[in-house]
Chains A and B, each alone.
Chain A
Amino acid sequence: MSEPFRIATGGDVKAGAPLTFMFDGVSYAGRAGDTLASALLAHGVHLVGRSYKYHRPRGVLSAGAEEPNALVGVDGGAGRFTPNLRATQVELHDGLVATSQNRWPSLAFDLGAVNSLGARFFSAGFYYKTFMGPRAAGLRAWKNVFEPIVRQAAGLGAAPTAPDPDRYAQFYTHCDALIVGAGAAGLAAALAAGRAGADVILCDEQARFGGSLLQERTATIDDAPASAWLEAALAALAAMPNVRMVARTQAFGHHAQNLVGLCERVGDRDSAASEGVRERLWQVRARDVVLATGAIERPLVFPGNDRPGVMLAEAARAYLARWGVAVGRRVLVATTHDSAYRVALDLRAAGVGVAGVVDLRDAPTGELVEAARGAGIRVLAGRAIKSTSGRLRIREARIGPVASTEAAQEERIACDALLMCGGWTPSVHLHAQSRGKLVWAPAIGAFVPGQAAAHVRSAGACNGAFGLAAALREGDAAGAAVAGGSARAYATAHDPPQTGARDIAPARSAAAKDKAFLDFQNDVAVEDVELAVREGMRSIEHVKRYTTTGMATDQGKTSNLNALEVAARALGKAVPEVGLTTYRSPYTPVTFGALAGASRGDLFDPVRRTPIDPWAQAQGAAFEDVGLWKRAHYFPRAGESMAQAVARECRQTRASVGLFDASTLGKIEVVGPDAAAFLEKMYTNPFAGLAPGRCRYALMLNEAGFVIDDGVVARLAPDRFHVTTTTGGAARVLHHMEDYLQTEFPQMKVWLTSTSEQWAVIAVQGPRARDVITPLVEEIDLSREATPHMSVREGRVCGFAARVMRVSFTGELGFEINVPSEHGRAVWEAVWAEGASREAVAYGTEAMHVMRAEKGYVIVGQDTDGTVTPDDLGLGWAIGKNKRDFVGKRSLARPDIVAAGRKQFVGLLTEDPAFVAEEGAQIVDARGGAGGAALGHVTSAYFSPALGRSIALALVANGRNRIGETLHIPIMGRTIAARVVAPTFHDPQGALLDV
């Protein structure tokens, strides 16, 4: 297939066999080096999308990141679908498949375009009025009428449905100078900073460095053509090891202290992306930043300015110079600025028909204007575009005097492309994001950087300094300044000065039918902004929200200034008085893939596994998440349900012996002469009198008096304690202790060290626990007398240094063997082997929960919720009565804590022994629930194998005084009666512990 509008090669376009790509099901040929936009334009395809609200046909407007219209979905196959990509930035590759958006059933025949007949439907304030109108009517209308229509009609692209198969990488990096934008200013800055030895990163969102130099055909720098200077500059930079150059890289966010987010497109130019990385997100921390982000050409505002074929003038120059593509055969130019003449001249020189230059200025003068006249290009001064026509592409424009409304005065000029230039808007986005101030520059009708954040500089067009000479001068100065180098002078020639005019508001022709659009992506027209002002909006922030102008994915890069001017004119104010909307990150949309990086799937969060975990996996254990840990939940045998497995594990543990992996318990070694005194502050219990070799159950409160953790404190020596915490509380408890130690008790000589992962912990529980471990233990006498309940001994287990605690969370005779983690699995397997002849069972966290509930042992975080005191739990005995102070003690005397009627921890036995209550179920005092007072809630409930019936634990108002009462648990449609009992269901005397 030939490319009828490809009139030259060179520039970006590479030699070699043509590529094939598909757009909306049609196959086209393109060239390596093309963007999707340049390749389509080479075939004369301007129509690339439908607009958001009115489904108007839209064409390629620009050649860069500011593109509002040419949004496409690119399907890379196998889940690689990306919506909302700008065709001007999609690099062509062989086999690329792209589709237009917002059209149904086809791009050329779109049923949704009827929206433009009923345009009032989507007028300014549509969303606002719909949602904020009379409440019932508004909501009903929205749900029944508007939402279905809007969902069908509006929207930008479709979200992908399959998991993204590509790889994304993220790196932090640091540099002395980050230079954003590799046009003339950025290159000059990089050369200056690089020569001075600075560590430089130079990035540009385009595939090629050079910015506007890539389309410069006449100007010279230091007597060389701009293209030759560019080549030499790039070679010089490439030879500097201290300069990193990253192309295809968008700086999308500029945050405090020069943290700049860059998104690099690595693999999406290549269909074999699955082999590598698609995008790379860089978080750059730069000592200095030089912004050389250029300027964006501003569209003109006239009726029908959105027809395909109506483009930004400089874009046409870029398509011609860089991709050899003529955007039409008979091109009309409309402008308020000299720069468009350069476009007309370049097109004419390339043999493209130029129908004329419509200049809104009364008497344009200057070198470029004269050059155009000299080249025989017709200049229509003091004229404006009054309207355009053509169904899917512009065919004709009507030209009339700027102030005229009369159709009779209009001249009709046939054209297949209309290039517009309303001046230039400096790209101040990153400057503003970095909290730089903006000031209004009336001469160019735009905001330019004012006071910058520390170590941020703007250079060239983004600083409002237009033209090649200014770009080189400011870039060089900025680069030299950040690196401590010296500036140099560049000599430029054949780069005529360009000026423009602002504040020309052509009158609307009586014959014009189309809207004059401001925001192409959100379909906001002049009349919408004017309506917003009529309806009382005074600040641009209000106008923006009312009309949605500037709120699309392009953030109004081409439209904000035009909208601001329209609003200012309607308000009769100067632009700066109307205000400016906030510039927000990201500059262009960033994929979720880039933001997530490798943090997905198994690498989203750390998956913490204990040393014994591989054994549990081999046994077929089911696991549950506890914080970041995977814990063995239960060990089902073939055909067993969870309930059956848990019941078996509980019964067998109580009948003989059970093994439990308690390695995830938090552990803190508290060492120093003041260790006991410090622990007395941190826990409710007394420790001064705890003898070395003994353990104590310990309760930790916050300063408000509420239980936040519990554990066992084992005294190994007068100055050394081994403290355990809950699994989920390990890090929090250590932080809490460090807080008090460092900031309230800094005089104490005591130090805290986390040993959570130093020790693997094997709990061996059950009447035969001693029998099982005795053969493996050396240097410790495990007899009842020598190692009583709540004691700790150091010795050897399986030959490894070990701490053996005699503690129990089941109510049975129990030991917890602590061995260094690396030996955990070996010791576990040795204990398991010893247990084989004694009917040992491995049990998981569910059986652990059931057995502790049978004993009424609290689980902090399940039976407590941050509002529960020790007395509420019936744990008043754990408070050291003679201690004057500990964290939380004072609060236990607060009036609301000592008041009667607090919720207290009790047991519940349902009338129906088979009924297991829901954890969290409410408890009331009246059958049927109605009229009954809410008294509390169920905190834990299980089927108890020891009792052969259900049990529950609950927090109930005045609960201990209600023991013996029957209360009620309302559930769907009925209530369950339950008797309040003491919260110890199994071996209430604790006889089994003392064996």
Chain B
Amino acid sequence: MLLIHCPYCDAARPELEFRYGGEAHVARPADPATVSDEAWAQYLYFRANPRGLHAERWRHIHGCGRFFNALRDTVSDRFVAVYEAGAPRPDAAETKR
């Protein structure tokens, strides 16, 4: 069981309090009615599956209740960064690693 730092609680909390929420930064189109079938299918079904850093959503569901984003290394299972929902993915240089 990992310890995950919740950016809202500003504390490391046990993984059991959290729920995973899939890839981060997959924005819902502002006006879905204007989106093509292909683009909509991309939005619905296509997700990154990187070996290495992955930006993903977590919810501190059994704590403060907030969704937030994290950069996690899928190889080491380490959390590299956590940041509030809506904030940009941090440190683009590092993500190239």
Interface residues of A (CB under 8 A from B): 255-257, 259, 283, 285, 435, 703-704, 735, 738-739, 742-744, 746, 884-885, 889-891, 894-895
List, sorted by A's number, 14 A–B pairs whose CB atoms are closer than 8 Å. A256-B1, A257-B3, A283-B1, A285-B3, A435-B76, A704-B44, A739-B21, A743-B85, A743-B86, A744-B28, A885-B31, A885-B32, A889-B33, A891-B44
CB neighbours (8 Å) of B1 from chain A are 255-256, 259, 283
Residue of B nearest to A259 (CB): B1
CB neighbours (8 Å) of A255 from chain B are 1
Known: A735-B59, A746-B86, A885-B32. A256 touches B2 (CB 8 A): yes
Interface residues of B (CB under 8 A from A): 1-3, 19, 21, 28-29, 31-33, 35, 37, 40-41, 44, 57, 59, 61, 65-67, 76-77, 85-86
Residue of B nearest to A258 (CB): B3
A743 to B1, CA, bound (A): 26
CB distance from A361 to the nearest CB of B (A): 44
Residue in B32, B76, B85 whose CB lies within 8 Å of A890 = B32
A390 to B41, CA, bound (A): 75
CB neighbours (8 Å) of A743 from chain B are 57, 67, 85-86
A890 to B30, CA, bound (A): 12
* Pairs A-B, 4 closest by C-beta atoms: A890-B32, A742-B67, A744-B28, A257-B3
Q: Are B85 and A742 in contact, CB atoms less than 8 angstroms apart?
A: yes
Residue in A256, A285, A735, A885 whose CB lies within 8 Å of B33 = A885
CB distance from A559 to the nearest CB of B (A): 31
A298 to B65, CA, bound (A): 53
CB neighbours (8 Å) of A257 from chain B are 2-3
Residue of B nearest to A705 (CB): B44
A435 to B78, CA, bound (A): 12
CB distance from B94 to the nearest CB of A (A): 19
A515 to B76, CA, bound (A): 43
Q: Are B33 and A890 in contact, CB atoms less than 8 angstroms apart?
A: yes
Q: Are B28 and A889 in contact, CB atoms less than 8 angstroms apart?
A: no
A703 to B32, CA, bound (A): 10
Residue in A256, A703, A746 whose CB lies within 8 Å of B44 = A703
A682 to B66, CA, bound (A): 19
A746 to B67, CA, bound (A): 11
Interface core residue of A257, A435, A746 (most chain B CB under 10 Å):
A257
CB distance from A983 to the nearest CB of B (A): 29
Q: Are A738 and B65 in contact, CB atoms less than 8 angstroms apart?
A: yes
A895 to B59, CA, bound (A): 34
CB neighbours (8 Å) of A746 from chain B are 85-86
Q: Are A895 and B37 in contact, CB atoms less than 8 angstroms apart?
A: yes
CB distance from A182 to the nearest CB of B (A): 26
Known: A746-B85, A889-B32. A739 touches B44 (CB 8 A): no
Extra pairs beyond A885-B32, A890-B35, A894-B41 (18, CB < 8 Å):
A255-B1, A256-B77, A257-B3, A259-B1, A283-B1, A285-B3, A435-B76, A738-B65, A739-B21, A739-B59, A742-B67, A743-B57, A743-B86, A885-B33, A890-B32, A891-B44, A894-B37, A895-B37
A259 to B1, CA, bound (A): 7
Q: Are B65 and A890 in contact, CB atoms less than 8 angstroms apart?
A: no
Q: Are B44 and A884 in contact, CB atoms less than 8 angstroms apart?
A: no
CB distance from A731 to the nearest CB of B (A): 9
CB neighbours (8 Å) of A890 from chain B are 29, 32-33, 35, 40
Residue of B nearest to A894 (CB): B37
